[in-house]
């Protein structure tokens, strides 16, 4: 018998707790970026240059700010969960590249890499029973 196997019956509760925690943190990260205006969005959007996209940095930055803010809310309630998880995973992929490109090294990019992998994994797992998207 595996240690703490009795917790298996609470998988959906665990997913809900993870969604709430990640969602709140991403709202807290994204909302100031969203309110930052075009100058902030442009700086944020320049991260797309890491994948060769150098046009419309304001649009890309605004998209990232919306992805984090609205994505955090969608994550909490479990709405459009898988597309949101993939969008946030992509956002973290770009953030990882930006950190690596800026010379921050693997440790500087580690948070974005780690959370990006969590979002990617959750896209496969799904939101659990306690969500708007439940079936």
pLDDT of residue 124: 97
CA distance 43 to 79: 29
Residue 91 inside a domain? The answer is yes
Residue 22 inside a domain? The answer is yes
pLDDT of residue 5: 87
Residue 3 inside a domain? The answer is no
Q: What is the value of pTM for the model shown?
A: 0.92
Domain that holds residue 92: 11-125
Estimate the crossing angle of helix 37-45 against helix 11-35, to 10 degrees. Answer: 120
Domains in the chain, number = 1
Number of Cβ within a 10 Å radius of residue 79: 15
Residue 88 inside a domain? The answer is yes
Residue 71 inside a domain? The answer is yes
Among 55, 33, 58, residue whose Cα is nearest residue 45: 58
pLDDT of residue 83: 97
Residue 135 inside a domain? The answer is no
pLDDT classification of 135: cutoffs 50, 70, 90: low
Mean pLDDT of 71-95: 96
Using one digit for the tens of pLDDT, what is the confidence trace for 84-112? 999 999 999 999 999 999 999 999 999 99
Residue 80 has pLDDT above 80, yes or no: yes
Residue 116 inside a domain? The answer is yes
pLDDT of residue 1: 62
Residue 18 inside a domain? The answer is yes
Using one digit for the tens of pLDDT, what is the confidence trace for 16-70? 999 999 999 999 999 999 999 999 999 999 999 988 999 999 999 999 999 999 9
């Amino acid at each position: 018998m595996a240690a703490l196997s009795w917790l298996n019956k609470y998988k959906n509760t665990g997913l809900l707790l993870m969604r709430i925690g990640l969602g709140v943190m991403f709202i807290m990260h994204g909302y100031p970026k969203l309110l930052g205006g075009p100058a902030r969005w442009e700086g944020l959007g320049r991260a797309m240059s890491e994948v060769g996209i150098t046009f419309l940095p304001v649009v890309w930055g605004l998209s990232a700010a919306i992805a984090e803010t609205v994505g955090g809310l969608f994550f909490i309630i479990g709405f459009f969960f898988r597309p949101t998880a993939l969008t946030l995973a992509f956002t973290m992929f770009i953030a990882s590249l930006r950190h690596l490109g800026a010379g921050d090294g693997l440790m500087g990019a580690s948070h974005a890499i780690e959370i990006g992998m969590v979002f990617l994994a959750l896209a496969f797992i799904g939101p659990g029973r306690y969500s708007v998207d439940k079936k």
